[in-house]
Amino acid sequence: MAVKTFAVGELATSADVNTYLTNAGLVYVTQVSPTAASTIAVSNCFSSTYDNYKVIVTPVISASASDIRIKLRSGGTPSSVNYYMTNIFASAGAISSTSEAGQVSWRGVYCGTGGSDGKYNSLTFDLFGPFLATATRYDMRSSAWDSTSVVNRSATGFHDLSTSYDGFELSAGSNITATITVYGYRKA
Protein backbone atom coordinates (compact mmCIF):
# COMPACT_ATOMS: atom_id res chain seq x y z
CA MET A 1 0.00 0.00 0.00
CA ALA A 2 1.33 3.42 -0.93
CA VAL A 3 1.64 5.93 1.87
CA LYS A 4 -0.92 8.69 1.54
CA THR A 5 0.16 12.20 2.43
CA PHE A 6 -2.16 14.94 3.62
CA ALA A 7 -1.99 18.65 2.82
CA VAL A 8 -2.19 21.32 5.52
CA GLY A 9 -5.82 21.73 6.54
CA GLU A 10 -6.93 18.49 4.88
CA LEU A 11 -8.84 16.11 7.14
CA ALA A 12 -8.26 12.38 7.33
CA THR A 13 -11.44 10.44 6.65
CA SER A 14 -12.57 7.50 8.80
CA ALA A 15 -11.58 5.23 5.88
CA ASP A 16 -8.04 6.71 5.96
CA VAL A 17 -7.74 6.20 9.72
CA ASN A 18 -9.10 2.65 9.53
CA THR A 19 -6.69 1.79 6.69
CA TYR A 20 -3.69 3.09 8.65
CA LEU A 21 -4.77 1.25 11.81
CA THR A 22 -5.27 -1.98 9.86
CA ASN A 23 -1.87 -1.62 8.17
CA ALA A 24 0.15 -0.91 11.33
CA GLY A 25 3.54 -2.69 11.41
CA LEU A 26 3.36 -4.40 14.82
CA VAL A 27 -0.04 -5.49 16.05
CA TYR A 28 -0.71 -6.30 19.71
CA VAL A 29 -1.63 -9.97 20.23
CA THR A 30 -1.57 -10.63 23.99
CA GLN A 31 0.11 -9.82 27.29
CA VAL A 32 0.68 -11.82 30.48
CA SER A 33 2.16 -10.59 33.77
CA PRO A 34 2.94 -13.53 36.04
CA THR A 35 4.39 -13.03 39.50
CA ALA A 36 7.00 -15.34 41.07
CA ALA A 37 6.68 -18.28 38.66
CA SER A 38 9.46 -20.61 37.51
CA THR A 39 7.57 -21.55 34.31
CA ILE A 40 5.44 -19.05 32.40
CA ALA A 41 3.20 -20.30 29.58
CA VAL A 42 1.89 -17.98 26.88
CA SER A 43 -0.80 -19.96 25.09
CA ASN A 44 -2.73 -19.41 21.86
CA CYS A 45 -0.66 -16.41 20.79
CA PHE A 46 0.44 -17.76 17.39
CA SER A 47 -2.02 -18.24 14.54
CA SER A 48 -2.33 -17.94 10.78
CA THR A 49 -3.03 -14.20 11.20
CA TYR A 50 0.71 -13.48 11.38
CA ASP A 51 3.77 -15.39 10.19
CA ASN A 52 6.32 -13.58 12.40
CA TYR A 53 6.19 -12.28 15.98
CA LYS A 54 8.04 -9.96 18.36
CA VAL A 55 8.05 -10.77 22.08
CA ILE A 56 9.11 -8.21 24.69
CA VAL A 57 9.81 -9.32 28.26
CA THR A 58 10.41 -6.57 30.83
CA PRO A 59 11.26 -6.09 33.60
CA VAL A 60 12.73 -9.50 34.35
CA ILE A 61 13.02 -9.94 38.11
CA SER A 62 14.72 -13.06 39.44
CA ALA A 63 15.52 -14.22 42.95
CA SER A 64 18.91 -15.54 41.82
CA ALA A 65 21.17 -15.52 38.79
CA SER A 66 19.57 -17.68 36.16
CA ASP A 67 19.08 -18.14 32.45
CA ILE A 68 15.54 -18.02 31.20
CA ARG A 69 14.93 -20.75 28.64
CA ILE A 70 12.37 -20.71 25.84
CA LYS A 71 10.35 -23.68 24.57
CA LEU A 72 7.75 -23.69 21.79
CA ARG A 73 4.37 -25.20 22.67
CA SER A 74 1.64 -26.95 20.67
CA GLY A 75 -1.71 -27.56 22.34
CA GLY A 76 -0.15 -26.85 25.75
CA THR A 77 2.70 -29.36 25.29
CA PRO A 78 6.26 -27.98 25.13
CA SER A 79 8.71 -29.25 22.51
CA SER A 80 11.87 -30.39 24.28
CA VAL A 81 14.33 -31.27 21.49
CA ASN A 82 15.87 -30.08 18.21
CA TYR A 83 16.88 -26.55 19.21
CA TYR A 84 20.03 -25.15 17.57
CA MET A 85 21.65 -21.84 18.44
CA THR A 86 24.74 -19.74 18.59
CA ASN A 87 25.16 -16.85 21.00
CA ILE A 88 27.53 -14.11 22.00
CA PHE A 89 27.77 -13.29 25.69
CA ALA A 90 29.51 -10.11 26.86
CA SER A 91 30.15 -8.59 30.29
CA ALA A 92 32.78 -6.34 31.90
CA GLY A 93 35.35 -6.64 29.15
CA ALA A 94 34.85 -10.38 28.61
CA ILE A 95 33.32 -11.72 25.42
CA SER A 96 32.55 -15.36 24.72
CA SER A 97 30.51 -17.29 22.23
CA THR A 98 28.91 -20.72 22.24
CA SER A 99 27.04 -22.96 19.87
CA GLU A 100 24.46 -25.48 21.02
CA ALA A 101 22.74 -28.24 19.07
CA GLY A 102 19.86 -30.50 20.07
CA GLN A 103 19.39 -28.61 23.33
CA VAL A 104 16.35 -29.01 25.54
CA SER A 105 15.42 -25.37 24.90
CA TRP A 106 16.80 -22.09 23.68
CA ARG A 107 18.82 -20.17 26.21
CA GLY A 108 17.32 -16.76 26.87
CA VAL A 109 18.11 -13.77 29.03
CA TYR A 110 20.65 -13.91 31.84
CA CYS A 111 18.96 -12.61 35.00
CA GLY A 112 21.59 -11.26 37.35
CA THR A 113 21.22 -11.08 41.10
CA GLY A 114 21.76 -7.31 41.06
CA GLY A 115 18.97 -4.89 40.26
CA SER A 116 16.40 -7.05 42.04
CA ASP A 117 13.69 -4.62 40.98
CA GLY A 118 14.33 -5.66 37.37
CA LYS A 119 14.78 -2.13 36.07
CA TYR A 120 18.03 -3.11 34.34
CA ASN A 121 16.88 -6.41 32.82
CA SER A 122 15.20 -6.90 29.45
CA LEU A 123 14.62 -9.54 26.80
CA THR A 124 13.27 -9.23 23.30
CA PHE A 125 13.07 -11.87 20.60
CA ASP A 126 11.62 -12.34 17.14
CA LEU A 127 10.12 -15.67 16.10
CA PHE A 128 9.88 -16.40 12.39
CA GLY A 129 7.14 -18.83 11.35
CA PRO A 130 6.20 -20.50 14.66
CA PHE A 131 2.66 -21.33 13.48
CA LEU A 132 3.84 -22.54 10.06
CA ALA A 133 4.70 -26.24 9.83
CA THR A 134 8.36 -25.47 9.07
CA ALA A 135 11.49 -24.88 11.13
CA THR A 136 10.98 -21.89 13.45
CA ARG A 137 13.83 -19.39 13.34
CA TYR A 138 14.56 -16.82 16.02
CA ASP A 139 16.72 -13.82 16.90
CA MET A 140 17.11 -12.75 20.56
CA ARG A 141 18.68 -9.87 22.49
CA SER A 142 18.93 -9.49 26.27
CA SER A 143 20.59 -7.33 28.89
CA ALA A 144 20.86 -7.56 32.66
CA TRP A 145 22.78 -6.20 35.61
CA ASP A 146 24.69 -8.74 37.72
CA SER A 147 25.70 -6.42 40.61
CA THR A 148 29.06 -5.59 39.00
CA SER A 149 28.50 -5.11 35.28
CA VAL A 150 26.02 -5.08 32.45
CA VAL A 151 25.61 -8.51 30.87
CA ASN A 152 24.50 -8.74 27.24
CA ARG A 153 23.54 -11.73 25.16
CA SER A 154 22.73 -11.94 21.47
CA ALA A 155 21.57 -15.26 20.05
CA THR A 156 20.18 -16.65 16.83
CA GLY A 157 19.02 -20.11 15.91
CA PHE A 158 16.17 -22.36 14.90
CA HIS A 159 13.93 -25.16 16.07
CA ASP A 160 14.27 -27.98 13.54
CA LEU A 161 10.84 -29.63 13.67
CA SER A 162 8.12 -29.06 11.07
CA THR A 163 5.40 -28.51 13.65
CA SER A 164 2.82 -25.77 14.00
CA TYR A 165 3.17 -24.08 17.41
CA ASP A 166 0.48 -21.97 19.05
CA GLY A 167 2.47 -20.69 22.03
CA PHE A 168 5.66 -20.79 24.05
CA GLU A 169 6.90 -20.99 27.61
CA LEU A 170 9.70 -19.36 29.54
CA SER A 171 11.33 -21.26 32.39
CA ALA A 172 14.08 -20.50 34.90
CA GLY A 173 15.87 -22.16 37.79
CA SER A 174 14.22 -19.71 40.18
CA ASN A 175 10.98 -17.75 40.26
CA ILE A 176 10.75 -14.78 37.91
CA THR A 177 8.34 -11.89 37.58
CA ALA A 178 7.87 -10.15 34.23
CA THR A 179 5.45 -8.63 31.77
CA ILE A 180 5.44 -10.55 28.48
CA THR A 181 3.92 -8.80 25.48
CA VAL A 182 3.47 -10.52 22.10
CA TYR A 183 3.08 -8.59 18.84
CA GLY A 184 2.45 -9.90 15.34
CA TYR A 185 4.22 -8.48 12.31
CA ARG A 186 1.47 -7.44 9.92
CA LYS A 187 1.54 -9.25 6.59
CA ALA A 188 1.93 -6.93 3.60
- CATH assignment of 26-185, among 3.10.450, 2.30.30, 2.60.120, 3.40.50: 2.60.120
pLDDT band of residue 168 (cuts 50, 70, 90) is very high
Please state which of the ranges 68-72, 126-130, 147-151 shows the lowest mean pLDDT.
Answer: 147-151
Q: Pick the more confident residue, 95 or 183.
A: 183
Over residues 26-46, mean pLDDT: 92
1 class by beta-carbon count within 10 Å (0-12 exposed, 13-18 middle, 19+ buried): exposed
Task: Summarize pLDDT for 77-136 with one digit per residue, the tens.
Answer: 999 888 888 888 888 778 888 887 777 777 665 555 445 566 677 889 999 999 999 999
**What radius of gyration, in Å, describes the C-alpha atoms of the chain?**
19
* Residue type (1 letter), 166: D
* Under 8 Å between Cβ of 71 and 172: no
Q: What is the mean pLDDT of the chain?
A: 83
Share of the chain above pLDDT 90, in %: 35
- pLDDT value of position 118: 64
* Under 8 Å between Cβ of 61 and 176: yes
Q: What distance in Å separates the CA atoms of residue 172 and residue 117, rounded to the nearest whole number?
A: 17
Q: What distance in Å separates the CA atoms of residue 82 and residue 162, rounded to the nearest whole number?
A: 11
- pLDDT value of position 1: 47
Judged by DSSP in three states, 98 sits in strand
- pLDDT value of position 119: 67
User: Phi and psi dihedrals of 51, rounded to 5?
Assistant: -90, -35
* CA distance to 63, 126, 138, per residue, from 144 (Å): 13, 19, 20
Share of the chain above pLDDT 70, in %: 82
- For residue 59, whether the previous peptide bond is cis, meaning omega lies within 30 degrees of 0, is yes
For residue 4, pLDDT beyond 70: no
